[in-house]
Amino acid sequence: MNVEGRLRGIINLGEETLSGETKPITTTTTKLNRIAKLSSEDSAMEFRCLMPHINKESLTSCFHKLDGKKAVGIDGVTKEMYSKNLSENIDVLLNRMKTMSYRPQAVKEVLIPKDGKPGEFRPLAISCFEDKLVQLQTAKILEAIYEPIFRHCSYGFRPGRSCHMAVKDLFTHLNSKGCEVVIDVDLKNFFGMIKHEILLEFLRIKIKDKIFIRYVARLLKSGIFKENRFVVNEEGSGQGNIASPVLSNIYAHYVLDTWLDDVVSQHANKEVKSFRYADDQVLCCYYRSDAIKVLKALKGRLDKFGLQLNEEKTKVVEFNKRKFPKAKQGTFDYLGFTFYIRRSRIGSIHVVAKTSRKRFSSKLRNVKHWCKTNRCKQKLHPLWDTFNSKLRGHIQYYGVSLNLDSVNNFVYQSTHIFFKWMNRRSQKKSMNWEQFNLFLKAFPSPKVKVYHQLF
């Protein structure tokens, strides 16, 4: 880096040193915006003074942003309890951080059922409220540094980006530029297999504040309290930790995104296009020979950094519009949608995204479970309102171009399930189908429409 670049990398909390000029920066938000600007202007920028950005103003702001209704950590402290002596509590926390005596408490692990996978669970880390303040401000600082340098192929947990943007970009790429083969990548326990020391080395590339790095390490290694015992976590970035999304994106940025963009695409016969949302990823290859080589190289790359492919779920899918329908083409799932090739009514061949069968079935099971367990807890109208809010959420997510038939089918089947279980609230039927139809006319289901245009 040149001398000017190094000077621009020296940033203080109350002021910034820039070519010998001292200018006051009044708020933490302004300072973070300045960091983001510097990072966007120079991708090699190094940041040397980050701890001052964790201050009373920033932690107080974080306090007001945190949801007080969330589950509490092992200390049982709620947002309301912490607020009673907010100023004093934050002062004590900052003093502990300045003296390096602050250590995050162990997180409480809770197992959450996996959507659409009966009997399978994913661990959720619940941190203590005070630790969430530090996590949130740490995440803000990291986001300011890394968001400007993250690659376009990364969509998950990023401001201004979403799963629907990933679906739309993939849809557009497959329909316009096309490809011959898609690699449906399934990473095995990505969040749980992130190597702490490797992640910290990645952070040291741009962050030269050793104390800040030490506190990130403490957040990662705080330990887990599960099944009434304390477990030291040597790897992984627990889902539930507020800083986990940006930390996992940083890990994937160096392990996958930059490698695919800067190395793999340069050695392939033609560009390999990546679409990654957190740990959900597909790679579009123009030639099958490239796909085979990329998959082999990907296994080695992941192994080098402590990650693994789920061999059973990772697959190479034939996906060539030019060969359809003479040669049968495959399908693949991405973010709850199944992508496949079909011929339209006017004879054109194009790619379509519809609700995946697995996700459709799992959502219907969820509807059945909810209706069964809640049918006697409220009167009909409040139940119908809550039921409609659930339908509305489904419609808003899956309401994409060319998928309304699937969404209408889901609403139809869900409504029948609701009718069935409302008639099982007692030994006597609440209403027959004709009466229920009159009820639907008076209180209709949410309207099915396209919420996300793919073209």
| Backbone dihedral angles phi then psi of residue 121, each to the nearest 5 degrees | -130, 155
Helix axes 129-146, 86-98, angle to 10 degrees: 60
The CA distance from 176 to 169, in Å, is 10
The CA distance from 113 to 84, in Å, is 35
Tell me if residue 447 falls in helix, strand or coil.
Answer: coil
- Which segments of 99-243 does DSSP mark as H helices, in order? 129-146, 163-176, 196-206, 210-220
Tell me the average pLDDT of the chain: 91
User: 195 and 237 in contact (C-beta within 8 Å)?
Assistant: no
Name which of 34-43, 109-118, 130-139, 201-210 the model is least confident about: 109-118
The pLDDT of residue 225: 87
Spacing of C-alpha 69 from chain mean position: 21
The pLDDT of residue 384: 97
Could you read off the pLDDT of 355-388 as tens digits, one per residue? 999 999 999 999 999 999 999 899 999 999 999 9
Pairing label, strands 181-186, 280-285: antiparallel
The pLDDT of residue 2: 42
Question: Both tokens of residue 186?
Answer: 């399934």
Up-side HSE of residue 291: CA atoms within 13 Å toward CB? 20
| Backbone dihedral angles phi then psi of residue 89, each to the nearest 5 degrees | -60, -40
Pairing label, strands 224-226, 107-113: parallel
The CA distance from 253 to 203, in Å, is 11
The pLDDT of residue 117: 65
Could you read off the pLDDT of 2-47 as tens digits, one per residue? 433 433 444 443 443 333 344 444 577 889 999 999 999 999 999 9
The residues that bridge with 51 in the sheet, in sequence order, are none
The pLDDT of residue 118: 63
Q: Taking the complete model, does pTM exceed 0.85, yes or no?
A: yes
Closest-CA residue to 373 (of 324, 429, 317, 424): 424
Question: Both tokens of residue 251?
Answer: 């890990």
